[in-house]
């Protein structure tokens, strides 16, 4: 595992270094080519000494280039596996960079910068950047070792883990086999096509062979899970509930404990500590973004009116903090009366009720812009668990243990589950992301989630 982590860090370092070197090289190369050729659009060559009188703003291009590559996922080793994706995003980045450079030189009234350089620079940035990242990813994918994995446990959780590993071959996980629970060591020899190597008690012997790189342990439901589920459905908790942690629980968790003399205790159900500054930042950020996004708001509204008709906005009841109902606002992306014949159903990535325009609005999260109004009203936050519909919330409160805990925070425009999951992520897994966010909240975590959300918006990414 350490070897793979080092390889990925080395890859990022090499990619960034290559990009930092690429910009000044292609910048100089643009002038050099122009000095040797009149190209197709000009009558004569440009003297090389023209470069000496130009006010160069190379640092702007360099910073912008690295930042845009990061936000478009070029430094994520598990993304951009298709050459077409690399080329498409590089064209978008190069075009944006040239537009910014043109604006900088125009508004600074710097008329000495050769216009032909913009065209050459655009072409060279696209070709060199896409070639560099495409070639390195080809090398990286060949060097990425396969990791042998054993899955420990039984039940539906183990089957879900196996299906996820099968669905995501790019992670390089190779399932060697399954170890069942000691009390469920039946005579079965295979599980979903993989050999059952024994029981949980055989794990240490298998690790000693040195052929196992990772172990995934999937625990079944316990009476503690039942207790958490029951407590989370209570409106008021009459007493503080504490747990005497085992060494296992201390090792896998981040412990904020209280103490009874020399006995460490963990408070099982508590109110998350959300700073007041979060509300101030939410209100200020929503107000600024709402003003800035007015042109996009108007354009989206007109497109919906022309291609889909009225209404422009979609209003729906959702549950907020402490299960308080509120009306969420979105741009409409589905046909009218989408649930008239079906009743409440969850949307999916390939939902036929979504119109072509609506699919585009969803891809770049433009449909979420009206929720800035919900943030200004104090009904939502920028980051938090996504607000759920009452119909589904009632079902999950019964079927998903601990689901009521997610209502201890304001719902969010985005969240940890949204940047790590997809439309078809199971509610049990989304809940784990939501609780991890709520009980480990910091403003720094909010910032990281917002940056990841920007990457999702820029790339139109829907997680696999």
Q: What is the pLDDT of residue 137?
A: 80
Residue that wins the pLDDT comparison between 151 and 9: 151
CA pair distance 329, 283, nearest whole angstrom: 17
- Residues 22/132, Cβ–Cβ less than 8 Å: yes
Q: What is the pLDDT of residue 268?
A: 62
Is the pLDDT at 17 greater than 50? The verdict is yes
- Residues 422/401, Cβ–Cβ less than 8 Å: no
Phi first, then psi: give them for residue 398, nearest 5 degrees.
-90, -40
User: Ramachandran region of residue 160, left (φ > 0), alpha (ψ -120 to 50) or beta?
Assistant: alpha
CA pair distance 379, 384, nearest whole angstrom: 11
Q: What is the CA angle 347-353-355, rounded to 5? A: 115
CA-based nearest residue to 413, from 299, 244, 286, 272: 286
User: Is residue 224 helix, strand or coil?
Assistant: helix
pLDDT band at 34 (very low <50, low <70, confident <90, very high): confident
Residue that wins the pLDDT comparison between 464 and 325: 325
CA pair distance 316, 331, nearest whole angstrom: 11
The bridge status of strand 194-199 relative to strand 190-191 is antiparallel
CB atoms within 10 A of CB 180: 22
Mean pLDDT, range 27-47, rounded to an integer: 78
Which residue spans within 205-286 are E strands per DSSP? 214-217, 242-243, 258-260, 263-267
CA pair distance 153, 199, nearest whole angstrom: 9
Give me 429's structure tokens. 């897994």
Q: What is the pLDDT of residue 261?
A: 47
What's the mean per-residue pLDDT of the chain? 83
Is the pLDDT at 68 greater than 80? The verdict is yes
Phi first, then psi: give them for residue 409, nearest 5 degrees.
-130, 155
CA pair distance 93, 455, nearest whole angstrom: 13
User: Is residue 317 helix, strand or coil?
Assistant: strand
> What is the value of pTM for the model shown?
0.76
Mean pLDDT, range 29-51, rounded to an integer: 76
| pLDDT tens-place string over residues 167-210 | 777 677 888 888 888 776 667 788 888 888 888 888 888 888 88
pLDDT band at 226 (very low <50, low <70, confident <90, very high): confident
Is the pLDDT at 463 greater than 80? The verdict is no
Mean pLDDT, range 428-453, rounded to an integer: 89
| pLDDT tens-place string over residues 100-132 | 988 888 888 776 777 788 888 999 999 999 999
Q: Domain boundaries in the chain? A: 2-143, 147-217, 223-267, 276-459
Count how many residues are written for the chain. Answer: 464
| pLDDT tens-place string over residues 385-420 | 999 999 999 999 988 888 988 998 999 999 988 888
Is the pLDDT at 79 greater than 70? The verdict is no
CA-based nearest residue to 328, from 340, 310, 344, 316: 316
DSSP code string of 20-38: HHHHHHHHHHHHHHHHH--
User: Is residue 210 helix, strand or coil?
Assistant: coil
Q: What is the pLDDT of residue 425?
A: 77
CB atoms within 10 A of CB 86: 22
Count of H-run helices and E-run strands, the chain: 16, 12
CA pair distance 448, 442, nearest whole angstrom: 10
| pLDDT tens-place string over residues 131-165 | 999 888 877 766 666 788 898 887 788 888 888 88
Is the pLDDT at 379 greater than 80? The verdict is yes
| pLDDT tens-place string over residues 255-308 | 555 544 455 556 666 667 777 889 999 999 999 999 999 999 999 999 999 999
Indicate the fold that domain 147-217 takes in CATH: Rossmann fold (3.40.50)
Residues 6+ apart with CB under 8 A from 291: none
pLDDT band at 64 (very low <50, low <70, confident <90, very high): very high
Is the pLDDT at 459 greater than 80? The verdict is no
Q: Return the sign of the alpha-carbon dihedral for residues 345, 347, 352, 353.
A: positive
- In angstroms, what is the C-alpha Rg of the chain? 27
| pLDDT tens-place string over residues 318-365 | 999 999 999 999 999 998 888 877 788 887 777 788 999 999 998 888
């Amino acid at each position: 595992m350490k070897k793979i982590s080092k390889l990925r860090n080395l890859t990022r370092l090499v990619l960034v270094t290559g990009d930092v070197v690429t910009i000044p090289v292609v910048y100089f190369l643009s002038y050099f080519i122009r000095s040797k050729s009149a190209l197709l659009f000009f009558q004569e060559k440009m003297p090389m000494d023209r470069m000496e009188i130009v006010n160069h703003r190379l640092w702007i291009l360099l910073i912008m280039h690295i930042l845009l590559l990061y936000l478009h996922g070029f430094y994520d080793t598990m993304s951009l596996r298709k050459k077409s994706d690399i080329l498409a995003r590089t064209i978008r980045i190069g075009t944006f960079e040239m537009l910014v450079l043109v604006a900088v030189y125009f508004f600074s009234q710097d008329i000495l910068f050769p216009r032909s350089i913009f065209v050459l620079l655009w072409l060279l940035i696209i070709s060199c950047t896409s070639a560099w990242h495409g070639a390195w990813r080809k090398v990286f994918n060949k060097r990425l070792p396969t990791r042998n994995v054993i899955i420990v446990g039984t039940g539906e959780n183990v089957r879900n883990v196996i299906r996820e590993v099968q669905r995501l071959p790019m992670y390089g996980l190779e399932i060697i086999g399954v170890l069942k629970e000691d009390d469920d060591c039946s005579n079965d020899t295979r599980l979903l096509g993989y050999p059952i190597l024994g029981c949980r008690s055989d794990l240490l012997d298998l690790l000693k062979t040195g052929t196992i790189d990772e172990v995934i342990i999937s625990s079944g439901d316990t009476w503690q899970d039942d207790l958490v589920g029951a407590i989370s459905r209570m409106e008021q908790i009459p007493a503080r509930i504490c747990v005497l942690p085992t060494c296992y629980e201390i090792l896998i968790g981040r412990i904020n404990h209280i103490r009874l003399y020399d006995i460490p205790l963990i408070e099982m159900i508590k109110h998350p500590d959300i700073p007041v500054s979060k509300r101030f930042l939410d209100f200020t950020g929503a107000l600024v973004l709402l003003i800035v996004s007015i042109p996009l708001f108007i354009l989206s509204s007109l497109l919906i009116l022309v291609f889909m008709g009225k209404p422009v906005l979609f209003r729906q009841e959702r549950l907020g903090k402490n299960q308080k109902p509120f009306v969420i606002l979105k741009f409409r992306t589905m046909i009218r009366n989408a649930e008239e014949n079906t009743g409440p159903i969850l949307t999916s990535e390939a939902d036929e009720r979504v119109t072509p325009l609506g699919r585009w609005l969803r891809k770049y999260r433009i449909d979420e812009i009206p929720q800035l109004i919900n943030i200004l009203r104090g009904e939502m936050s920028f980051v938090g668990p996504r607000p759920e519909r009452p119909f589904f919330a009632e079902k999950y409160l019964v079927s998903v243990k601990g689901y009521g805990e997610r209502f201890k925070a304001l719902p969010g425009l985005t969240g940890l589950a949204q940047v790590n999951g997809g439309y078809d992520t199971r509610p049990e897994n989304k809940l784990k992301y939501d609780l991890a966010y709520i009980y480990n909240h910091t403003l720094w975590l909010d910032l990281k989630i917002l940056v990841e959300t920007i990457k999702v918006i820029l790339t139109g990414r829907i997680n696999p």
